[in-house]
Amino acid sequence: MATTAKSLKNPAYLQSSTTMLLFFASWGIWWSFFQIWLTNTETGLGFTGAQVGTVYAANSLGTLIIMFLYGTLQDRLGVKRHLAILVALVSTLIAPFAIWVYEPLLRTNFMLGVVVGAIVISAGFVSGVGLLEALTERLSRRYGFEYGQARMWGSFGYAMVALVAGFLFSVNPHINFWVGSAFGVLLLLVTLFWKTDHLPVVNDSAVAAQPTIKDMVATLKLPSLWVIIIFVIMTWTFYQLFDQQMFPGWYTSLFESEVTGQRVYGTLNSAQVFAEAAMMGVVPIVMRRVGVRNALLMGVSVMALRILGCAIFTDPVIVSAVKMLHAVEVPLFILPIFRYITLHFNTLLSATLYMVGFQISAQLGNVVLSAPLGALRDSIGYQPTFLVIVAVVVTAGIFAFFALKKDDEQVLGDPFERTVKTIAR
């Protein structure tokens, strides 16, 4: 186990942590208000739920394609940062694109704007996050640091910008995009010039033999991978649709004015992500105590409670408290699902399996479900739609209890050792 003090002396950990921080800062400053920007009639585009669903579905379709390309290419690149540099370049250009290309197209030629936006947003951010997370996990094994601790800095970066995002958005949404580009410039510099190739390697298996395309296609023939795909679509996909496509607009509507709601949402979002960052460091410890599978089931339980709370309550204070469950749920889902893949599958294909089993399957669900759920929200309202979503998540939890493998079953990757607490007699 790599301690925090030891990690801080590890240049690879510092570089990966800085990359995570800057990427999530560049993304979070505008992404946290993306749904509000699309729907707000005063400072945004004033789209309906069905139109927002179309935007998210197109983004997910673009992500589905680009993410698979990223996964297969990164598995062949090992720990080289060619694709990470591409992601950083898109982050740098997000403001000029959003203000001078994306917004005008959405207003004048909606479908063309949707398609162009899907390519850029997917390549730079929605697919980019999966790429950088997979690369960071691989670097953590190669250079001997805790992946969860490095990923924690991504949450910290998101929280840092979320603290001011609501206030900037209420002044002019374009400011959010320009700040995103500023962080993108820093990310590009770090990616280009902060090298770790010269460092001593702790684990050669992280970049051993390169998998072939045949190996990658063969992963789709694994029944255990399809269990993960079904599980992710029924949990993470529905949760993301709830949290990104519906919750921000619904939450701000609970206040007397939209401006107040936007500012409170930004502050709450920051507090939640700060807590999430802390939990990214805690969850690996919890996972070593309870095991990978049990930690994942805990994450699904918290996910269901968060959605159910929003389906029941309308008081802004109570809903704000329920929103904070997100800080527990995300680390309890993201970290165990990645460790589940590296535990039960060949680690040489970890990037592809993570992309296919988690990221791509989630985006595939988004492609199919975004527009219908958006239309359902237009038809029956927010909270009844939340009840439908929580019913699906609970069903998925029951499915996972019986279908997911235990930590000592089919161990084809890195074995997992739980921390056993010794009781003095």
pTM score > 0.95 for this model?
no
Per-residue model confidence (pLDDT) at position 251: 93
Residue 333 near residue 299, CB atoms below 8 Å: yes
Give the least confident one: 35-49, 353-367, 383-397: 353-367
Query: Buried b vs exposed e over 205-238: b needs ≥16 C-beta within 10 Å?
Result: ebbeeebeeebbeebeebebbebbbbbbbbbbbb
pLDDT band at 1 (very low <50, low <70, confident <90, very high): very low
Q: For residue 182, is it left (φ>0), alpha (ψ between -120 and 50) or beta? A: alpha
Per-residue model confidence (pLDDT) at position 425: 42
Is the pLDDT score of 421 beyond 60? no
Residue 31 tokens read as: 């992404």
Residue 294 near residue 57, CB atoms below 8 Å: no
Per-residue model confidence (pLDDT) at position 238: 92
Of 150, 122, 123, 124, nearest to 135 (Cα)? Answer: 150
d(CA 125, CA 22): 12
Per-residue model confidence (pLDDT) at position 3: 56
- For the chain, give the mean pLDDT: 85
Is the pLDDT score of 328 beyond 50? yes
Give the least confident one: 32-41, 82-91, 92-101: 32-41
**Per-residue pLDDT reduced to its tens digit, 258-294:** 888 888 998 898 888 888 878 877 888 888 889 889 9
Is the pLDDT score of 2 beyond 50? no
Per-residue model confidence (pLDDT) at position 306: 95
Per-residue model confidence (pLDDT) at position 423: 44
Q: Per-residue pLDDT averaged across 187-204, rounded?
A: 79
Per-residue model confidence (pLDDT) at position 362: 78
Q: In the block, which residue shows the tokens 């063309």?
A: 112
Per-residue model confidence (pLDDT) at position 135: 87
**Per-residue pLDDT reduced to its tens digit, 330-386:** 889 988 988 888 887 776 676 667 767 776 777 778 888 888 988 898 899 999 999
Residues of the chain above pLDDT 70, percent? 88
**Per-residue pLDDT reduced to its tens digit, 134-173:** 888 888 878 878 787 888 888 888 888 988 888 899 899 9
Is the pLDDT score of 414 beyond 80? no
